[in-house]
């Protein structure tokens, strides 16, 4: 008799036959158009396992983002806010572990090798912290129905695109042709890249956060860059771990901002040397961390085209960059 794993693999093979398929920007993997988004082939099985099996707890906190929008930063901040009373400042686990090791991805990590990992009896004490890049409509039902909380981060699409272009180039297999900026831009505008289309992803969480502001906190990278202290307070309040007056007086908020800063994280040995479960070296996650770096690369025609897309997609939403 077939075991569960074999049956499941066959079902997956059948499903894959029916899905639109595209070449990914890099390497040998593909993208499958699954439930309205382009899922990297290497993560599809894990996405479906996560959807089938994950049972949310009311106390769970899920960090969600579109890739290259500040995921690493938000993980560091969320981890530090929630666990700040578990360790002395200089013993923050962030000094020894990458943000992606402390808040693990469902589809690029936890469900990658094991279709049904035991997340109940692991060493994860409440609140459990997880993360995903899966779009809102594809989240498992229990995550929507429970009182678990979601923090979402997005970013100006122009900076996000430039960040992605550099990131994928760093992951390029040796001797393969680089993807030109023009080619990448064309694919970006069509939405055919990992987790794309960008606009659908952002709008899905934006609308959900407006309908349910106690469940989903919608953050923007640019606001964090502009005023990390007030954004950190907002994050802590939302998560149910507000800073006390005493903590504010003692500079706890500033300390967390400093520990999670680009300058600090980028220089840590763990972030210079480690490799993520999904195969990318940690150091590829730290590049420039600037707002407006796109202006060094975009031609006027690119600006015009993307501004038009931004307007078409976000105009009625009330979301601005
Ligand atoms: P740039 O490529 O523009 O530098 P993600 O974590 O979602 O993959 O996003 C990566 C982007 O966030 C990169 O942007 C990276 O440099 C920036 N980044 C990483 N850590 C950061 C931090 N602690 N503070 C601010 N930005 C950070």
**Does residue 232's CB lie within 6 angstroms of at least one atom of ligand 1?**
no
> What CATH number has the domain bearing residue 275?
3.40.50.300
Is residue 85 a part of any domain in this protein?
Answer: yes
- The complex scores an ipTM of 0.99
Is residue 7 a part of any domain in this protein?
Answer: no
pLDDT value for 53: 94
Block means of pLDDT (10 residues each) for the chain, 321 residues, are: 79 94 82 97 95 95 98 98 92 94 95 91 78 98 96 97 94 83 95 95 98 98 98 98 98 97 96 84 94 97 96 92 84
Q: Which of 237, 248, 233 is nearest to 213 (CA)?
A: 237
For the CA atoms of 99, 239, 215, 261, the dihedral, rounded to the nearest 10 degrees, stands at: -40
pLDDT value for 27: 66
Strand, helix or coil for residue 99: helix
- Pocket-testing residue among 100, 289, 293, 294, ligand 1, by greatest number of atoms within 8 A of Cβ: 289
pLDDT value for 79: 97
Residue 280 phi/psi, 5-degree rounding, is: -95, 140
Percent of the chain with pLDDT strictly greater than 90? 82
Length of the chain in terms of residues written: 321
pLDDT value for 178: 87
Is residue 194 a part of any domain in this protein?
Answer: yes
- Token digits for 299? 């031609």
Per DSSP (E only), the strands in 162-313 are 216-220
Which residue is listed with tokens 């075991």? 3
**Does residue 228's CB lie within 6 angstroms of at least one atom of ligand 1?**
no
Strand, helix or coil for residue 11: helix
**Does residue 163's CB lie within 6 angstroms of at least one atom of ligand 1?**
yes
Residue 251 phi/psi, 5-degree rounding, is: 75, 25
**Does residue 68's CB lie within 6 angstroms of at least one atom of ligand 1?**
yes
Residue 135, classified by CB atoms within 10 Å of its CB into exposed (0-12), middle (13-18) or buried (19+), is: buried
Per DSSP (E only), the strands in the chain are 21-23, 30-34, 37-40, 61-65, 104-105, 129-132, 149-154, 216-220
Q: How far is the CA of 68 from the centre of ligand 1 (A)?
A: 7
Residue 264 CB: number of other CB atoms within 10 A?
15
Return all residues near 213 (Cβ < 8 A) that are at least 6 apart. Answer: none
Please give the Cα distance from 267 to 279 (Å, whole number). 20
Q: Which of 133, 147, 112 is nearest to 64 (CA)?
A: 133
Nearest protein CA to atom 10 of ligand 1, as residue: 68
- 112-156 pLDDT, tens digit per residue, is 989 999 998 766 668 999 999 999 999 999 999 999 999 999 999
Q: Provide the edge-to-edge strand list for the sheet that holds 30-34.
A: 21-23, 30-34, 37-40
pLDDT value for 321: 84
293 CA closest ligand 1 atom index: 3
What domain range is 264 assigned to?
35-314
Please give the Cα distance from 81 to 212 (Å, whole number). 22
Count of domains forming the chain: 1
Which of the following is catalytic: 53, 57, 133, 276? Answer: 133
Is residue 306 a part of any domain in this protein?
Answer: yes
Is residue 171 a part of any domain in this protein?
Answer: yes
Is residue 24 a part of any domain in this protein?
Answer: no
Residue 30 phi/psi, 5-degree rounding, is: -120, 175
100 catalytic residue (yes or no):
no
Is the four-CA dihedral 60, 224, 167, 321 of positive or negative sign?
positive
Residue 61 phi/psi, 5-degree rounding, is: -125, 125
Is residue 10 a part of any domain in this protein?
Answer: no
Is residue 28 a part of any domain in this protein?
Answer: no
pLDDT value for 280: 82
């Amino acid at each position: 008799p077939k075991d569960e794993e074999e049956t499941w693999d066959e079902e997956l093979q059948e499903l894959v036959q029916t899905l639109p398929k595209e070449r990914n920007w890099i390497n040998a993997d593909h993208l499958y158009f699954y439930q309205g988004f382009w899922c990297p082939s290497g993560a599809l099985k894990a996405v479906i396992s996560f959807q089938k099996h994950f049972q949310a707890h009311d106390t769970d906190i899920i960090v969600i983002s579109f890739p290259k929008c500040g995921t690493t930063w938000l993980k560091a901040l969320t981890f530090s806010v929630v666990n700040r009373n578990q360790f002395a400042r200089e013993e923050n686990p962030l000094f020894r572990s990458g943000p992606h090791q402390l808040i693990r991805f469902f589809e690029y990590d936890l469900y990658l090798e094991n279709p049904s990992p035991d997340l109940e009896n692991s060493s994860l004490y409440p609140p459990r912290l997880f993360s995903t890049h899966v779009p809102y409509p594809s989240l498992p039902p229990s995550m929507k129905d429970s009182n678990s909380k979601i923090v979402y981060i997005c970013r100006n699409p122009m900076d996000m695109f430039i960040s992605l272009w550099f990131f994928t180039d760093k992951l390029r297999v040796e001797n393969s042709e680089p993807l030109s900026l023009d080619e990448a831009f064309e694919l970006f505008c069509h939405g055919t890249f990992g987790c794309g289309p960008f606009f659908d992803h952002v709008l899905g969480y934006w609308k959900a956060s407006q309908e349910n502001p106690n469940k989903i906190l919608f953050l923007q990278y640019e606001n964090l860059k502009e005023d990390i202290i007030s954004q950190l307070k907002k994050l802590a309040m939302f998560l149910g771990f507000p800073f006390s007056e005493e903590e504010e007086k003692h500079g706890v908020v500033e300390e967390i901002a400093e520990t999670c800063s680009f300058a600090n994280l980028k220089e840590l040995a763990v972030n210079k040397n480690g490799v993520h479960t999904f195969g990318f070296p940690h150091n590829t996650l730290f590049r420039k961390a600037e707002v407006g770096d796109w202006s060094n690369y975009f031609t006027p025609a690119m600006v015009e085209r993307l501004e038009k897309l931004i307007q078409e997609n976000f105009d009625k939403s009330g979301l601005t960059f």
